[in-house]
Chains A and B, each alone.
Chain A
Amino acid sequence: MRKIHGLFILLIIFTFLSKDLIAQLPVSKEATLIESVSSAEVMIEATGIYKSKQKKKKKAKKDVTEKGVKKAIEDARKATVYFILFGGTDPLISTPQERQRLDKYTSFFFDINNVNTYITFEETEFRKKVKIDGGRGIRVTKRFKINKELLTKDLEARNILEARAELAEAIGNPFIMVMPAVQRGESPIDLLRTNPRIKHAAAVVESYLTARKYDVIVPEQQAALSDLSAAQQSLAGREEDYAYQLALSIGSDVYITFSGTLEDAGYGTKKYAMAVRAYETTTARLLGTETGYSQGRQGEVMVSIEEAMNDAVDNVLSRITNYWKDDVKRGVQYKLIVNISTDFDEDQIEDIQFAFMDVVEEIAKSSKENIVTDQTLDYIIWCDPAKYDKSSKVYRKIKKAFKDAETEGTLRRININRKMILLKVDYE
């Protein structure tokens, strides 16, 4: 009997709590991203709904007249936060775990006083204000500017999102290289040098990423490629993919390529369409792609480029962040390429390969074998950041383990950067 009483009380408490949670969420949940105004703020057009709970129509209408607009505006404000958290193609809350953690704080995040702190601008006038359900409800649409950065920090402070600062502490922020996409055989560096629009677009991404405290580089020196020449043979089929080669040679974690075109938008205006793609450097795996559009304008191409780029890069960046968060869990990622001299015979090569495989097993939390040929070993390895937070440490360990294996070869390094360890094994 006591048990039944207890369950009953629990049920009542749960009902009240869930009611409270539901009450905090917006009714409408309808919002559209208008523009990424800056790296921290977005302009959102949101709809708010208020429906009277009065049963009699006359009372309901009176209720809507008295407090409908105020309540609907509050609902629209909440809808903006809801949209940033859960809406669009790249919401801040992207995993079930994050959603679970957020549920505990729903009442905090959707408390109107808290919601108001994220709103940095609200239009005075309405885009729309429409009575619904025969006057028993009202729907309003307004534009708001939301400080997404502040919302993100609040999520991080409550451990709903893994704080970027913590990620950075554990493994560092992803190192991002930005490059224009080019035709096969074309040099992105030349394009950056000669095309002011391309240069401007790169600068916009750079500005966007640095404002969010990412390490970012736009390589402008052809020399950066020189060290890679020795590894050419291992990059089968990618000889002319400059962006990939540059990313590897620079040692970025992720590289972003972009390309844009001006399109006719009518009335003598042109709009810029910007395609932004993000790749994992070590594998050239596509992490995310997004196309951003500017509004149609007469002239002012640079403004259109910036607008289109801001539109696209924000979404791509959130995909990079999600990738990075996942990858961090596996450890620090390195690309390991070993070039084996042709002077060895078959048995010697096998000894060398086994020695490498053993050492990879030893140092890596997990690994992925890309290429194993007589002359080349190509691995992606994920190491414990506590032990191998630098590629030089990995190299030292490999060198030592290789020596201990007493093979016929001598291990030497060709190039080591923060992402890639490029080694060769010479015959003594």
Chain B
Amino acid sequence: MKKSIISVVLVLFPIAILLGQQGKYQRKSISSVESVWIRPGALQGLERFDYRFFDKMVDFYIELERFDYNILPEMMLSEFRDQANSLTEITPAAIGRVLEKTVAARILDILNSDDVKKNRGLALKDESAFQSFAATKAKSLGLTVRELEMLLNSAYIYLPYISSMKQEKEAKEISVEIQGGILWYQLAVDPGGNYSIKMLVGAKTSGLGRASIGAKNRFTGKPLYKEFKFGKEVLKTTEEQYAQYDAVLAWAKNLGVKTKEIDAFKLQAQIVEASGNKYGFPLGFSEGVHLGDGFHLVEFEEDRFGNEVATRVGFVRVTKTGDNKEDPTAYTYATQLLGEKQDIGGVVMEHPRLGIDARVKLGFVTGMNIPKKYTKFYLGTMVQVLDDDATSAFGANLTFAYNLAPIIGVSQTFLDLDIGFGIPIASYTNEAIEGNINAFIISGYLGATKKLWFGRSNLSIGLGGGVDRLTMDGELLDSTFTYSINAVGIKAVADFEMLLNPDLSFNIGAGYKFGLPPMSVTLTWGDEELELPIPLDEYEDLKMGGFSINIGINYALGELPINIFGFLDPFKKY
């Protein structure tokens, strides 16, 4: 049973064999030759493509801590651009050939420089080399041929590309969609010093950004899309720029995960401490490990042909990140969530995710109170939607949960953005049915959840606050309308969650939403949006909250085309 739940994947494991020591990540050096390669005609509807912001996002999400970055001279880059631009047919292979002609030799020079050898050479030494060094009175820590081979073959070049970037404007809504990806090349050097550029992998993804012209924050009155925040940085924008930035951030973040998913770049280490279901391994801040990061437990097994194959046998989550920038001997500790216990020598292998979970829940709410009289309103004619008072509803929620642990240092704490949809259980009036008028509750909540793990299961407790909107919409007098009664609410939820595989968990839970009296009534009729001057005490016993039970699933996302809480990413420090 366990075997069927845990994804057991058999993969040939050439990397470990090449490196000599099983499950050891060796730093790679990367170079970039172009900010981004934009396919001719790819930009549509955009006034200006902001290269500076694009580079900032690529720097942040792709030039990861696990890499050393080789800076290439501008002259060489412009030579690459000239030659690449003159290609009659642009293909990954053709770009590879241009790279080989223009920048490969320079990268090799960089790798052969004393500084690089000195700085990166030590990381290539294994423990026994240091022992010999000590025993031989520190005679030599120079690079041996094996280490040089590893160093010279650990250089990679990446080229982000955009195949399409469209900006569309519909009324006041602006949307920008990017389609594109990244190409990774490897510099291969043979013992004779001959080099070539080999295409390693290509990854595609998309990003979507939106903004509304003139939109303002309902509470503060400040424009919503005039500045784009990224960490502590605040960039002044127009709505068009905001949408573009939003899309670029989502796109670059996805590419960051796809880069980490490349086998050669996956962090891996041997377990050097094992105590119960807790494991310590030599990775940490230097490699960009953060609290809450997931790692597969990998075991090597000899098949009947004598080949060594790697098998995923479990899953762990980081509970304490080792500060190996300060103390190179510091270990990262992780707790096992799936699989059988492992011993020292087992291998942990990174399972890169966005750090955002998507949670879908279906449920039933009771204890609410939507009297039928509150579904009665005048729009040229008196309309009543519900024929009964509604005290319960079926509901569905979609939550995007951003892992705050790397920012606040408290493991498994999430910032939740929750969107709910409820259908009151009550019969509709004939006029509502005839007019195709619907009544439903839409909620938007912001909250936080803390998960307390025990084995593969957890109890998650969440608190949140937001707005519930009883909405009735349909068509009257040849015009669409939306009549909404808005109320602030706070809620508390508790879920029992069980991990089915490293990404997917099943949950069942209950919650209580305390709905405050309505604060506004709005009407959108055609293109016009009005706040109706209806005395709110008229709705004093309207209650959109209540006790709820729900079941659902939680999925750790590896890709998301929209930007959610991306501005928090630079604050990750734990």
- A residues at B contact (CB < 8 Å): 34-35, 37-38, 41, 43, 65, 68-70, 121, 123-132, 134-135, 139-140, 143, 145, 265-269, 271, 295-300, 303, 306
Q: Are the C-beta atoms of A43 and B148 separated by less than 8 Å?
A: no
Q: Does B427 contact A (CB under 8 A)?
A: no
Output the least CB separation between A84 and chain B (Å). Answer: 17
Instruction: Give chain B nearest CB distance to A54 CB in angstroms.
Output: 16
Closest chain B residue, CB of each to CB of A267 = B148
Q: Determine which of B128, B149, B345 lies in contact with A267 in the assembled complex, contact meaning CB atoms within 8 Å.
A: B149
- Report how far A204 CA is from B144 CA in the complex, Å: 21
Q: Give residues of chain B (516-564) contacting chain A, Cβ–Cβ below 8 Å.
A: none
A333 to chain B, nearest CB (A): 36
Interface residues of B (CB under 8 A from A): 20-22, 24, 112, 126-128, 131-132, 135-136, 139-140, 142-146, 148-149, 152, 189-193, 270, 272, 299-302, 308, 340-346
> 18 interchain pairs (CB within 8 A)?
A37-B135, A43-B132, A69-B343, A121-B131, A124-B127, A125-B126, A126-B270, A126-B344, A127-B22, A129-B22, A129-B345, A139-B302, A145-B135, A269-B145, A269-B148, A303-B139, A303-B142, A306-B139
Q: Is the CB of B127 within 8 A of A295?
A: no
Asked if A300 and B140 make an inter-chain contact with CB atoms under 8 angstroms apart, the answer reads yes
Check A125 against B127 for contact (C-beta < 8 Å): yes
Given A131-B301, A297-B144, decide whether A69 and B345 contact each other with a Cβ distance below 8 A: yes
Minimum-distance CB pairs A-B, first 9 = A266-B191, A296-B145, A129-B345, A295-B144, A69-B343, A303-B140, A267-B148, A126-B345, A131-B301
Select A130's contact among B189, B300, B343, beta carbons within 8 Å. B300
Number of A-B contacts (CB under 8 A): 115
Minimum CB–CB distance for B12 against chain A, Å: 14
CB of B193 within 8 A of CB of A267, answer yes
| Min CB gap B1→A, angstroms | 13
Bound-complex Cα distance A306 to B133 (A): 13
A306 to chain B, nearest CB (A): 7
B272: A residues at CB distance < 8 A: 124-125
| B139 touching A267, Cβ below 8 Å | no
> B345 is contacted by which of A38, A140, A303 (Cβ under 8 Å)?
A140
Choose from B126, B132, B142, B191 the contact partner of A35 (Cβ within 8 Å).
B132
> B346 contacts which chain A residues (CB < 8 A)?
129
When chains A and B are docked, how far (Å) is the Cα of A89 from the Cα of B464?
74
Give complex CA distance A98, B192 in Å. Answer: 48
Q: Residues of B contacting A38 with CB < 8 Å?
A: 135-136
Return the chain B residue nearest A142 by Cβ. B345
Which of A43, A129, A269, A299 has the most chain B CB atoms inside 10 A of its CB? A129
B142 engages A300 (CB within 8 Å): yes
B340→A65 contact, CB < 8 A: yes
Question: What residues of chain B lie closer than 8 Å to A295, measured between beta carbons?
Answer: 144-146
User: Assuming A128-B22, A298-B143, what are 16 further A-B pairs, CB within 8 angstroms?
Assistant: A34-B128, A41-B135, A65-B343, A68-B343, A125-B21, A125-B24, A126-B345, A127-B22, A129-B270, A131-B302, A267-B191, A269-B143, A271-B145, A297-B142, A303-B140, A306-B136
Given the known A-B contacts A65-B340, A124-B272, A131-B302, are A37 and B149 also in contact in the complex, defined by CB atoms under 8 Å?
Answer: no
Chain A residue with Cβ nearest B152: A267
Residues of chain B contacted by A124 (CB below 8 angstroms): 127, 272
Q: How far is the CB of A204 from chain B (nearest CB, A)?
A: 11
Bound: A295/B139 CA distance, A: 14
**CB-contact partner of B145 in A127, A130, A267, under 8 A:** A267
Residues of B within 8 A of A135 (CB): 301
How far does the Cβ of B211 sit from chain A's closest Cβ, in whole Å? 51
Instruction: Please state if A127 and B340 are interface contacts (CB–CB under 8 Å).
Output: no
Contacts of B148 in A (CB 8 A): 267-269, 296, 298
B132 near A123 with CB under 8 A, answer no
User: Quick one: which of B24, B136, B149, B302 contacts A266, CB cutoff 8 A?
Assistant: B149
Q: Which residues of the other chain, B, contact A69 by a CB distance below 8 angstroms?
A: 343-345
Residues of A within 8 A of B22 (CB): 126-129
Q: Which chain B residues border A41 with CB–CB below 8 Å?
A: 135
Q: Which A residues lie within 8 Å of B345 (CB)?
A: 69, 125-126, 129, 140
Cα–Cα, bound, A43→B135 (Å): 11
